[in-house]
Structure 1
């Protein structure tokens, strides 16, 4: 029986025979549901072998967002971590686009491992030559691989260990377990955040959720350091999520968080917080600022001003119901939120870093045309270098772009 036009067979019905591409992806899909996490690498290698690839690597971003670290596994190529800022793999990671490098032994292809716009890492392989069919199949394998890494992440410590380049404090361990993916890119909206110091962060955290046309955002900074701050941050984020999920307004969310922190920790403890709600259809942004530095509005690749709002007491102090501020964003506007540790750090023991320095670097980096994830990462690392590499307090950045 032979196939006719449109995939139909003469004699009735569509052609359901397995093509080469379906067979290749079937290697991954048929076994994914009961695959142990440590077998992801070997299974990907088995699928890629059908394309004749060599030296396959799965590279994961370290917690400091500075290096891409090879995932160990049978059949995967080992090697040194690759710097994100100075490698072809890093360029693929930052741009979220494939990068090909012609070498004497063939073509080295780097593909972004994307899951919901979050960049999990990079898949790198070598082929003798690369055609459009190879590119299509490699892109699809990379997509399935990213999904496997994300879904299996909750079952294992393998990926956590791979991503660590230095010891992590218990407080930081708690904070990282609270976080959503560091970035999300969707047709109408994109978000990205970064925490410093990555391996010793304690009181800072952020959270977001996209529910239909509404993007919910929150950033918090719990007082103190170490486990006390991490515990308070856990309660604050938990209270925020609970209130958000029962669909109350921003002012009610603030009161819910305030009560939870006060009841658990008493009157001498507090959490500064910033809660936002963005209508992704219209660009209408609402927010409550409870003790944070005012967010910055970035329009046309320059900081246009602060989003000032009515004064609201930090969470835990028993403040009155807060006023909700509002602004209409324009397409491609970005809003930068940050904790006070970013601007209050002293440069080499002298003056504070300050908002003016922050604005200078935001203008410089945003004008380069990078996505929010690359801008946020570059901004955090640049500011840390400008402070002499010192971060005595948590310093968190979170950026949202309304894409229109």
Structure 2
């Protein structure tokens, strides 16, 4: 009698990068009473889940959306079907659906969860080596500027024992220069939100210069002041002060909740706790690249355990479609209050959808970024 392999991981690592769903499906059909398997991936707007194995099939329905939103296994079909989140390091990719021919899915839940975890990790690793999965999640063609921006993003969510983090960009298929970046190392979480100057591919190129300059400094061990100054010098050297970049750099101490900030422009930070939403008061310094040899200073503020930190670009807080009051005056606060019980991954989508509704079908004048961080203050 054949012995079931301990893990599907070795088979996924040996497979071509574009055939991972088929390898996982074959493993499940070989070793379990499985009749059907589908892999769903979330589109760029995080609004629908699209099938990979059968691209002509319908998008994932309510059970798949519930699994994706809750990040919990969902049993359906009289316990004959299970849906499992495809998530790695907090980054939500999609959902794995397994339909059994006989038996109760709960009997195999531990093994199915392990397959989903291995598949999620493999899909993320393979993303740079095949276009298959990107073609699934793109429901229309990206502009060249948007192509550059999506290639530059770190991911759409990140999590650990001490924090939950998510970000979203709008419009997904035609963004310009707004951007976010993050990195976690040891007890420090660095977050950057950028308001790009201009539009089209030139705005995306400006952001690309800034983000890579800050990453270069950060990866060399530089603090956020040095990151801001290197990026400012790089932009000024390239554009001579004719283009600049409003940026908010944050470094969060995950053990104590102290936040060091370099406020170089228009992104706004807010703290939400127990129903109250309070703007973070920071003294703005010059945008990056406005002058040669610009120098920056840090400011500090404190997060309490369980606090939520939100950062929005000017495409959110200054949006004023059709002569309406700026979205940040009151509508933003209303939208943020509706997210109180939602995890960051859902909260950013709620705010973006409310922003779309605020525009009432008109095209936004600027792209928009929202970042949401929950600091949990748990130790590893």
Q: TM-score range by the shorter chain?
A: over 0.9
TM-score (norm 1): 0.88
TM-score (norm 2): 0.93
Which residue does 1:332 correspond to in 2? 306
Work out whether 1:226 is the aligned partner of 2:200. yes
Which residue does 1:342 correspond to in 2? 316
Q: Does the residue aligned with 1:365 lie in a helix, a strand or coil?
A: coil
- 1:348 and 1:388 in contact (8 A); partners too: no
Structure 1: 5+ residue stretches without partners: 1-16
- 2:246 and 2:267 in contact (8 A); partners too: no
Given candidates 221, 224, 242, the residue that maps to 1:268 is: 242
User: Aligned-pair distance for 1:171?
Assistant: 0.5
Aligned in 2, Cα 1:325/1:88: closer, same or farther, shift over 3 Å?
A: same
Given candidates 263, 270, 274, the residue that maps to 1:289 is: 263
- Say which one has the larger Rg: 1
Distance in 2 between residues matched to 1:179 and 1:301, nearest whole Å:
31
Distance in 2 between residues matched to 1:294 and 1:38, nearest whole Å:
40
Given candidates 77, 82, 101, the residue that maps to 2:76 is: 101
1:301-337 deviation per Cα after TM superposition (whole angstroms, max 9, x unaligned): 431x111112201001127422311112111111111
Work out whether 1:373 is the aligned partner of 2:353. no
The two structures, once aligned, show a CA RMSD in angstroms of 1.9
Distance in 2 between residues matched to 1:232 and 1:155, nearest whole Å:
26
Work out whether 1:392 is the aligned partner of 2:362. no
Which deviates more, 38-47 or 190-199?
Answer: 38-47
User: Aligned-pair distance for 1:372?
Assistant: 0.8
Aligned in 2, Cα 1:158/1:228: closer, same or farther, shift over 3 Å?
A: same
| 1:153-164 matched pairs, under 5 angstroms | 153-164=127-138
Given candidates 7, 19, 36, the residue that maps to 1:39 is: 19
- 1:57 and 1:78 in contact (8 A); partners too: no
Q: Does the residue aligned with 1:31 lie in a helix, a strand or coil?
A: helix
Which deviates more, 178-187 or 313-322?
Answer: 313-322
Which residue does 1:89 correspond to in 2? 64
Distance in 2 between residues matched to 1:122 and 1:157, nearest whole Å:
19
- 1:298 and 1:334 in contact (8 A); partners too: yes
1:152-194 deviation per Cα after TM superposition (whole angstroms, max 9, x unaligned): 1110111111101112101000000000111011001111000
Work out whether 1:190 is the aligned partner of 2:170. no
Distance in 2 between residues matched to 1:24 and 1:122, nearest whole Å:
22
Runs ≥4 in structure 1, deviation > 6 angstroms?
none
User: Aligned-pair distance for 1:57?
Assistant: 0.7
Which residue does 1:312 correspond to in 2? 285
Distance in 2 between residues matched to 1:302 and 1:364, nearest whole Å:
12
Aligned length: 373
Aligned in 2, Cα 1:226/1:77: closer, same or farther, shift over 3 Å?
A: closer
